């Protein structure tokens, strides 16, 4: 009897996946009783902890009633779909976690669609049922409707339901009294996993098949491949054939070290069989999607496929006057090497060298996917500049097709009109509208992906920070027409130097600033947002002319409005086609592509000539 079960936990962002995994680890005895454990222990990346989201799929394992259960915690954001698809290739079942208040959300649909398409049988866990506004019956019915829409099989539609509170660490197979715990522990969930997640059916005596689904790196042993053994048995020191699908390249290598998961730890193993999720080191040519198989009887699996990117940005070498002052890695060769290294593990990313020196076209699944990469680069000490994101078009029979997103917004009724007007201007089409209680409404839209570039900040302003928004890629459709770009112009620094309080006081009525007194600026740098729709050149470094006479009064205390705090996401969404975001380990600055005013005028004349 096979005593291994492999399952993934899939859900929309913030529905409680990582918290539930914490509790499963605790109750299965993975931690010592006196061990200090951080919250959301699976989110061990700095960016994941700061943002409260899962970016990378991660593995752990628990033991329950003599069964070894491998658990893969997956990201909820569609931008990290490459991670989700790889994780699902390693498992035989999924826990679909749904918030008891929100119900299925767009990214619930995204991850569920991937799981159902692979033929995986879901266990629906209605999480956070301890919340006062929980509505478990609605959630279960909505999950069933979602499965029907996604063409689930009869077996998939006959899913078990578990009610749970990840935070309070209990689960129940039946509903209880409102406001009271419905269970004592997570035993009902563990037992449901054993009953409904099928064991791996692979033959331990068949030729080896191990597909690499994820990569890790160690300074001691180099690249580590992570994957599930489909059939056969693997031992440390065994010779294997590394194959890129049936028709790709192949090479012989040897497994130096074999590890398996226990709790969050990786422990050495002499051998592993069908269903085991293992880590192998020392294998040359190990990469995502390759199959490690028997050299005498090779049986490669098809390479993993992931959805194509929908968004492109240009990554350029930093050419501003401040270039090289704050970063360790500033050359095009260093940037190129780092991007090529990223491609080895980030399967949803594409990088292309352009004809221009030091400029790379980087394509990803969305703004979050690309800005996470940029944040990692700046933390590693890289300096670079990036352009405005633009969508990837497809050409069908000579017609331009563009990516369409399925957007869901949850807003207070008072803000509904403004949000609907803004989405209408961005070519959004309302497909569904539903009242959420007394004062909130959920709106479903189909909208061009380029209509969502820069919308996040506008949405937060329109809803006073109370709105919820999420979206997923929904296919390609014919071009929907032009969309109005940013309504405001910018304030451009006329000179280089240090920002003066006196100068900012004079500019206060022109717009909101991005800089504060004593910040260093350079000619062509964007220092603020203009109140009107045109760009103007301003002097932010002008000092007050001193005389021999001291004048007392209001001029002594110049009041300056606090600047807009530039985050990476805000900066990338804010810029226009003729602007760049300069990113260094210490600073985020906005600048014009051409720093000199006469260069900008000449470039605009050339652009108008081309458009004529």
How is the chain split into domains, by residue range? 4-196, 209-293, 394-478, 490-611
Over residues 145-188, the pLDDT tens digits come to 989 988 999 999 999 999 998 888 889 999 887 777 888 899 99
Give the 3-state secondary structure of residue 462.
helix
CATH number, domain 394-478: 3.30.70.240
DSSP string, 483-538: ----S--EEEESS-EE--HHHHHHHGGGEEES--TT-EE-TTEEEEEESSSS-EEE
Q: Report how far apart, in Å, the C-alpha atoms of 414 and of each of 410, 418, 426, 433, 463 are.
A: 12, 9, 21, 15, 8
Please report the pLDDT score of residue 114 as a whole number.
Answer: 82
Q: Which runs of E-coded beta strand occur in 100-238?
A: 121-127, 161-165, 170-172, 209-218, 222-231, 234-235
Percent of the chain with pLDDT over 70: 88
- Over 50: is that where the pLDDT of 78 sits? no
Lowest model confidence (mean pLDDT) among 40-54, 451-465, 482-496: 40-54
Over residues 401-428, the pLDDT tens digits come to 999 988 888 888 999 999 999 999 999 9
Give the number of other Cβ atoms within 10 Å of residue 267's Cβ. 11
Average pLDDT over residues 421-445: 88
Those residues whose C-beta lies under 8 Å from the C-beta of residue 351, and which sit 6 or more positions away, are: 339, 340, 342, 343, 360, 361, 362, 363
Q: Is 94 annotated as a binding residue?
A: no
Average pLDDT over residues 543-571: 72
Please report the pLDDT score of residue 400 as a whole number.
Answer: 93
- Over 90: is that where the pLDDT of 247 sits? no
Pick the CATH number of 490-611 from 3.40.50.10260, 3.60.15.10, 3.30.450.40, 2.40.50.250: 2.40.50.250
- Over 50: is that where the pLDDT of 220 sits? yes
Please report the pLDDT score of residue 41 as a whole number.
Answer: 41
User: Which fold is adopted by the domain 4-196?
Assistant: Rossmann fold (3.40.50)
Q: Is 346 annotated as a binding residue?
A: no
Average pLDDT over residues 304-325: 88
- Over 60: is that where the pLDDT of 5 sits? yes
Please report the pLDDT score of residue 80 as a whole number.
Answer: 47
Would you tell me the crossing angle of helices 416-425 and 455-462 to the nearest 10 degrees? 160
Q: Is 4 annotated as a binding residue?
A: no
Percent of the chain with pLDDT over 90: 37
Average pLDDT over residues 344-352: 81
Please report the pLDDT score of residue 611 as a whole number.
Answer: 44
Q: Is 19 annotated as a binding residue?
A: yes
Please report the pLDDT score of residue 306 as a whole number.
Answer: 67
Task: For the chain, give the mean pLDDT.
Answer: 84
Q: Is 467 annotated as a binding residue?
A: no
- Over 80: is that where the pLDDT of 557 sits? no
Q: Is 584 annotated as a binding residue?
A: no
Please report the pLDDT score of residue 39 as a whole number.
Answer: 43
**CATH class of domain segment(s) 209-293:** mainly beta
Average pLDDT over residues 355-362: 92
Give the number of other Cβ atoms within 10 Å of residue 3's Cβ. 13
Same fold, 394-478 and 490-611: no
Higher-confidence residue of 177 and 396: namely 396
Q: Is 276 annotated as a binding residue?
A: no
Contact in structure between 39 and 169 (CB atoms under 8 Å): no
Please report the pLDDT score of residue 107 as a whole number.
Answer: 65
DSSP classification of residue 556 = G
Q: Is 77 annotated as a binding residue?
A: no
């Amino acid at each position: 009897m096979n005593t291994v079960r492999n399952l993934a936990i899939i859900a929309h962002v913030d529905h409680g996946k990582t918290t539930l995994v914490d509790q499963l680890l605790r109750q299965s005895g993975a931690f010592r009783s006196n061990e200090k454990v951080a919250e959301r222990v699976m989110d061990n990346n700095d960016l994941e902890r700061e943002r409260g989201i899962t970016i990378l799929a991660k593995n752990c394992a628990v033991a329950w009633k003599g069964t070894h259960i491998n658990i893969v915690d997956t990201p909820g954001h569609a931008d990290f779909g490459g991670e989700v698809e790889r994780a699902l290739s390693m498992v035989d079942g999924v826990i679909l976690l749904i918030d008891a208040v929100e119900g299925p959300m767009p990214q619930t649909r995204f991850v569920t669609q991937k799981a159902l398409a692979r033929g995986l049988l879901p266990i629906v866990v209605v999480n956070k049922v301890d919340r006062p506004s929980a509505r478990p019956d609605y959630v279960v019915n909505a999950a069933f409707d979602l499965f029907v829409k996604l063409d689930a099989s009869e077996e998939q539609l006959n899913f078990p339901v578990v009610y749970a509170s990840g935070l309070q660490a209990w689960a129940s197979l039946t509903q209880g009294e409102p406001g009271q715990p419905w269970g004592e522990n997570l035993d009902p969930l563990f037992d449901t996993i054993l009953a409904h997640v099928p064991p791996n059916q692979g033959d331990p005596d068949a030729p080896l098949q191990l597909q690499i689904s994820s990569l890790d790196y160690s300074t001691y042993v180099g690249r580590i491949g992570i994957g599930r053994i489909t059939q056969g048995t693997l031992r440390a020191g065994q010779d294997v054939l590394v194959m890129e699908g049936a028709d790709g390249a192949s090479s012989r290598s040897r497994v130096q070290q074999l590890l398996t998961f226990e709790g969050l730890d990786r422990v050495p193993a002499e051998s592993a069989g069908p269903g085991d999720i293992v880590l192998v080191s020392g294998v040359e040519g190990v990469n995502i999607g390759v199959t490690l198989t028997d050299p005498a009887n090779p049986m490669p699996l098809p390479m993993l496929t992931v959805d194509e990117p929908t968004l492109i940005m240009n990554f350029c070498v930093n050419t501003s006057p401040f270039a090289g002052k704050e970063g360790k890695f500033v050359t095009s060769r260093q940037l190129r090497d780092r991007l090529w290294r990223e491609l080895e593990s980030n399967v949803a990313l594409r990088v292309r060298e352009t004809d221009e020196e030091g400029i790379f076209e980087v394509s990803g699944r969305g703004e979050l996917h690309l800005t996470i990469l940029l944040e990692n680069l700046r933390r590693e000490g890289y300096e670079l500049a990036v352009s405005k994101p633009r969508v990837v078009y497809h050409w069908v029979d000579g017609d331009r097709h563009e990516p369409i997103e399925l957007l869901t917004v949850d807003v207070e009724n008072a803000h509904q009109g403004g949000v609907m007007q803004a989405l209408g201007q961005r070519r959004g089409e309302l497909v569904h509208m539903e009242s959420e209680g007394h004062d909130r409404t959920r709106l479903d839209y189909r909208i061009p992906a380029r209509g969502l570039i820069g919308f996040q900040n506008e949405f937060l302003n329109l809803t006073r920070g109370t709105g919820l928004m999420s979206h997923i890629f929904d296919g390609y459709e014919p071009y929907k027409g032009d969309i109005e770009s940013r309504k405001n112009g910018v304030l451009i620094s006329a000179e280089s130097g240090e920002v003066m309080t006196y100068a900012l006081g004079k500019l206060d009525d022109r717009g909101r600033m991005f800089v504060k007194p004593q910040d260093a600026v350079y000619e062509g740098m964007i220092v603020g947002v203009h109140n009107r729709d045109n760009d103007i050149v301003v002097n932010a470094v002008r000092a007050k002319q001193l005389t021999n006479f001291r004048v007392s009064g209001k001029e002594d205390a110049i009041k300056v409005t606090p600047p807009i705090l530039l985050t990476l996401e805000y900066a990338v969404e804010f810029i226009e086609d003729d602007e760049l975001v300069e990113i260094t380990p210490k600073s985020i600055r906005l600048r014009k592509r051409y720093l000199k005013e006469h260069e900008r005028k000449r470039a605009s004349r050339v652009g108008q000539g081309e458009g004529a």
